[in-house]
Structure 1
Amino acid sequence: MDAFIAPLLWGLLAFYNKPFPIFKYWKEFLVSGFYGVFAFSTLNYLGLQSISASQAGMISAGIPITILIFTPIFLKEKIKLKAWVGAIISIIGVILLIQGKQTASSEGSILGEIEILISCVAWGMYTVFGKKYVKRIDPLTLTAGAAFYGTLLSAISCIGTVDPSSIHMSPNAWLGIAYVSTFASVIAFVLWNAGVKIVGAGQAAPYINLLPVWTVLLGVLLLKEQISGITLVGGIITIIGAVLASGKNNAVKIQQKVNF
């Protein structure tokens, strides 16, 4: 799907008459592409092979915590004590969530949970580095560069690991690729980078809390998934902790104008 995302972003750059400094900012593009496109997406899809969308969504509530941890390290933004308390609460929630799986623990499900957890770390890194990079690269160009290098990394990872003859595309599969390549990737990534540039990584973190809410809701409504009581409690605690950790005034707000 990354192969579809990059051309769409290049088209947007051409529409806005923007140059694409693919080599000038190759380090920034490579780092963003690795964390935000390659690592985050790959780990998410791998994790969803063995755990439900609802469970993955609630585990992803830990993303604000990773942003909170990396923000003072890479962006030098100050984090208040209240935020760290929220982080601890959220971690407790994630532990309860993982322990409250519907089915008996297995190597596959445990691996899936670990993959989703690591994807949260990857998105946290993508966010803080994105905040750092958009000071000199506009969000659209940064997203296009990340998509390009992320596509290269994805292609390299497929060498010797994917059998082309085993790939069978149905109409619904093509429709899914079209959706993921536009709304869930191009539009989402560009708007996220633009928002992070405006409000800062710390202030953007709370909006990630909508991800597990929508994932669980849509998983139940569309996929008819069931969630156990302890899993639900763990998810709620995780979200509460994340809100507390990344709530208003926990990080210094840095206002910048976004120019497309």
Structure 2
Amino acid sequence: MKKGILLLIVATLLWAGNYICGRFLAPALPATLLNTIRWAISTLILWGLLAFNKKNLPILSKWKEFLVLGFLGVFAFSTLNYLGLKSISASQAGMISAGIPIIILLFTPFLLKENIKTKGWIGAIVSIIGVIILVQGKQSNSSDASIIGEIEILLSCVAWALYTVLGKKYGRQMDPLTMTAGAAFYGTLFSAISCIGTVQPYMIHMTNSAWLAIIYVSTLASVVAYFAWNAGVKNLGAGRAAPFINLLPVWTVVLGILLLQEQVSGMTLFGGIIAIFGAILASL
């Protein structure tokens, strides 16, 4: 139980960094190309880990499972995130992700036939309340907010919710490393295909800092975070894991303070504490 909780916390912290890097890389690369480069590197790393552990990747025999997971969790989720981050801030995107637990809890009974206990629903609701308070207390300039960007982030939340629930279902047949590697492979293919005819050389503006951000999103925010999330979901279950995604907006505020020198109010901190409490409550 404690191991599963720690894995989910680590995953959300690393993903919060991905939001910040995604916002930073928005003017450097088109979203589809960024996602392709990110996951091409990640796929090579994951395959290397499989080889090191002397595991085979059933790329053909499990193609249906990998195709679905790759499309939802690697291509749709990440690409929509990067598209949204072109027009809204990282903090805004992280806060919108607070809707993911509710979507997961709605999908779980239908796709997994799991009963969600009352405490799980209460924990999710408490986390949502905490995030609402956090949003109200967040001091940020929303002049660059875009309805299209918000819709793109919302759609990415739906994609991630489906990935989480189906990942739990397919996780009964394979270990997290194999599942993540297979999803990364097919997700990279989808991303590469989406670049055809949509990416032009004049759209690319890479710098040394941008390459460092690419390395981060390709390793810590991809390989390590996805492995930690899949392992945590397998340990706790999709329903219990769902509220932990609410830690994303908390971490985005923390990283905003540390890395971007953002100013936050006491209400923001209070909301973050409530969000964390809700996630813990749902896991008990």
TM-score bracket for this pair, using the shorter chain length: 0.7 to 0.9
8 Å Cα contact 1:53/1:216 also seen in 2: no
Cα 1:8–1:104 change in 2 (3 A) is closer
How many angstroms does 1:117 deviate by?
1.6
Q: Report deviation, 1:116.
A: 1.5
Give the 3 Å change call, closer, same or farther, for CA 225–51 of structure 1 in structure 2: farther
Counterpart selection for 1:199 from 236, 242, 267: 236
Q: What residue is the counterpart of 2:8 in the other structure? A: none
* Aligned position for 1:115: 152
- Alignment correspondent of 2:54: 17
Greater helix percent: which structure? 2
Q: Which residue of 2 aligns with 1:163?
A: 200
Q: Which residue of 2 aligns with 1:133?
A: 170
Hey, what's the Cα distance between the residues in 2 that align with 1:65 and 1:241?
A: 16
Contact 1:140 1:190 in 2 (8 A): yes
Task: Report deviation, 1:237.
Answer: 10
Query: Is the aligned partner of 1:208 residue 2:245?
Result: yes
* CA displacement at 1:223 relative to structure 2: 2.1
Of all paired residues, the percent bearing the same amino acid is 66
1:199 shift after superposition: 1.6
Instruction: Select the residue among 115, 119, 138 that pairs with 1:78.
Output: 115
TM-superposed deviation, 1:243: 3.7
The range that moved more, 10-19 or 197-206, is 197-206
Describe the superposition over 1:96-130 as per-residue Cα deviations: whole angstroms up to 9, x where unpaired. 849x9955677x61111222122111111111110
Cα deviation, residue 155, structure 1: 0.8
Deviation of 1:194 (Å) = 1.4
Give me the whole-angstrom Cα distance separating, in 1, the residues matched to 2:92 and 2:273: 14
Match of 1:32 in 2: 69
SS in 2 for 1:247: helix
Match status 1:175 vs 2:212:
yes
2:180 to 128, 133, 143: 143
Per-residue deviation, residues 59-101 of structure 1 (Å, max 9, x unmatched): 2122222211111111111123455566567667778849x99
Contact 2:126/2:275, CA 8 A, preserved across alignment: no
Tell me the TM-score normalized by structure 1. 0.81
Q: Root-mean-square deviation (CA), in Å? A: 2.9
Asked if 1:248 corresponds to 2:273, the answer is no
Please say if residues 38 and 154 of structure 1, whose CA atoms lie closer than 8 Å, have aligned partners that are also in contact. Answer: yes
Aligned length: 246
Q: Which residue of 1 aligns with 2:31?
A: none
Tell me the secondary structure at the aligned position of residue 137 of structure 1.
coil
Shift of 1:204: 1.6
